Structure 1
Amino acid sequence: MYRFVLTRQWVCLTLIALVLIPAMIKLGFWQFHRHEHRVAQNELIAANLTAKPAPVTEVTSPGHQVPRSDFWRTVTATGTYDTAHEVVVRMRTSADDKVGFHVVTPLVLADGRVVLVNRGWVPGGDDPRAYPPVPAAPSGEVTVTGRLKADETSGGSGIKDRKGLPDRQVMLINSAQQAEYLGRPVLGGYLELDGPAPSGGSPEAIPDPDHDSIGPHMAYAVQWWLFAAAVPVGWLVLVRREKREREEEAAAGEPGSGAEREPATA
């Protein structure tokens, strides 16, 4: 009574099931690996944010590519802001998703080298091509604390590095580009300002990166694996239903009971 599984319709249904099972299992592991990556990243962020601050010159240097293990590492820098070469980064959002600019001001260290400091977010003015209103950076020597970030690239950020922008406007925060603009050696990466906030006002601070949420990836992984387990169960249910219906047709002597028919559906 199970010879019907060799018919064309049942062979096609079985092949589809055999393809779906490994595909769903693979999708489940893909989501599981995304979960593991998110957990590891959260642990890295938490550890680097709470680590003892290190002088930025001990962590990076001109031309240095900041490794992932140093992302969000708390660093300090002492120097003087070069406001004449300050730039703003276009199309950046605030904590409440308003579009504006990030303000990047070079901080000149005692040895003449420079570290880029992202001082925070400001809204755009009436003219999107004009330099926006920016609170002035503190004058004189300052010591700042912030989170170390890697240079932004189009490949890593997905942001197109557009040319022909208005004066002192950029799309990416990149130490190599700013070294050409400044004519000085610039430390690799940049510092995302964490403190102290000047008393006379400052750009809106960039919030700490999220390191509490783990996302829904584990739940999605379990769902895919449950779907994979449900496929053979569903196949067996359909086979048993088909067998039962064929037996009932044969017992009733219905014509055409031995003919090829479509598989039963749930």
Structure 2
Amino acid sequence: MDYLVRTSRIPDLWRFLLITFAALVCAGITASLGFWQLGRAAQKQEIFDTMARQQALAPWGNAELASQVPAVSQILSDSKRKELLHRPAQLQGQWLPEQTVFLENRQMQGKVGFYVLTPFRLAAPHEGTVIIVQRGWAPRNFMDRMVLPPVHTPAGLLTIEGRLEAPPSKLMELEGENGGADPDGKKSRIRQNADIAQWAQQSSLPLLALSLVETSDGAASQGLLRDWPQINAGVQKHYGYAFQWFGLSVLVVLLYVWFQLVRRFYLPRRAAHPAAPR
């Protein structure tokens, strides 16, 4: 009889061990995912803080820009890029309107249109330096997609303000599309993407490796919209995910304790040995 009792308990023991193992694995995985989300939040917060510190720096002028930002033909290391990105600048020079490019399928305030890019040549003695300026957004003509929006480009020496950024993000394009400029003025200036290296090669302009996102407003906007996307840390989303994963981990532990410990051991023992009446 004792042998039969012991053998009948073996499946229950294995079931208990398997459930315990599964609960430990599930709780460990969900907890680790929660800590991973906290790590992602810390990384994004660090990036955001770095951007905020860069944007709070004193703006560079022509001399600093020409000496610090390498040409597109030179190698721009990751450390140097982090040092330069988001830095404010106030530049004096003149537009090269014949080299203006319109990047299509770009959105601003929920509308589809063009990003307008124009090279900006620095004033003397730095006239050998040219930077691509993301001037703003203009609506497109949906009746005729080849019609360009009117963009006023003032001539002569002027001052612009902005911040150093990477070139506009690339969209998917058909193979063989031209990503450079249009120096001869005979082809459409509408582009899906802008490749600064190719642009420099086609136009023979000494372009810098980074672009300038113009932030001038008022009359200096030339009718272009400059409601550029505001980058935020976005850590609240990761904190929410972390809370969910930690909550699931705690739920697994509580369910295990109740069903595998309390109901399995404590309640039967308490029922078998009721408290003596006083």
Common fold by TM > 0.5:
yes
- CA apart distance, 1:215: 2.7
Partner of 1:76: 90
Residue by residue over 1:207-236, the C-alpha shift from the partner in whole angstroms, topping out at 9 and shown as x without a partner, is: 362347643212322332232233222211
Q: Which residue does 1:38 correspond to in 2? A: 44
AA aligned to 2:70 is S
Deviation larger for 70-79 or 122-131:
122-131
| Corresponding position of 1:147 | 163
Q: 1:197 to 1:81 in 2, by over 3 A?
A: farther
Aligned partners of 2:202, 2:144: CA distance in 1, in Å? 22
The separation in 2 between residues aligned to 1:17 and 1:69, in whole angstroms, is 47
**8 Å CA contact retained: 1:88, 1:170:** yes
Give the 3 Å change call, closer, same or farther, for CA 153–202 of structure 1 in structure 2. closer
1:242 deviation in Å?
Answer: 4.0
Aligned residue in 2 for 1:89: 103
Does residue 225 (structure 1) correspond to residue 246 (structure 2)? The answer is yes
Of 99, 103, 109, 2:122 maps to 109
Provide the rounded CA distance (Å) in 1 between the counterparts of 2:32 and 2:221: 55
- What do the CA deviations read for 1:148-191 (whole angstroms, capped 9, x no partner)? 1123565xxxx324443682223334421321232212101100
Counterpart position of 1:263 = none
What root-mean-square deviation, in Å, do the aligned CA atoms of Structure 1 and Structure 2 show? 3.2
2 CA distance for matches of 1:21 and 1:144?
Answer: 56
Q: Please, which runs of 5 or more residues in structure 2 have no aligned partner?
A: 1-5, 179-186, 274-278
- Code of the aligned partner of 1:137: T
User: Given the superposition, is the C-alpha separation of residues 208 and 232 from structure 1 closer, same or farther in structure 2, using an over 3 Å criterion?
Assistant: closer
- Separation (CA, whole Å) in 1 of partners of 2:131 and 2:202: 13
TM-score for both structures, normalised by structure 1: 0.78
Quick one: distance in 2 between partners of 1:237 and 1:3? 22
User: Which one-letter code corresponds to 2:134 in the other structure?
Assistant: N
Q: Which residue identity does 1:47 align to in structure 2?
A: R
Match of 2:24 in 1: 18
Identity %: 24
Number of aligned residue pairs:
245
Counterpart CA distance in 2 for 1:215 and 1:35 is 8
* Aligned 8 A contact 2:47 2:233 in 1: no
Q: Which structure carries more helix by proportion?
A: 2
Separation of aligned partners in 2, 1:174 and 1:194:
22
Cα gap change, 1:168/1:151 in structure 2, threshold over 3 Å: closer, same or farther?
A: same
Are residues 1:98 and 2:105 paired? no
**CA–CA distance in structure 1, aligned partners of residues 66 and 241 of structure 2:** 43
Q: 2:181: which partner in 1? A: none
Amino acid of the structure 1 residue aligned with 2:88: T
Q: Is 1:122–2:129 an aligned residue pair? A: no
Q: Give how far 1:244 is off.
A: 6.7
1: CA distance between counterparts of 2:222 and 2:168?
27
Are the equivalent residues in 1 in contact too, given 2:51–2:86 (CA < 8 A)? yes
Amino acid of the residue matched to residue 135 of structure 1? Answer: V
How much does 1:35 deviate?
A: 1.1
Deviations 1:123-147 (A, max 9, x none): 1112564143032222111221111
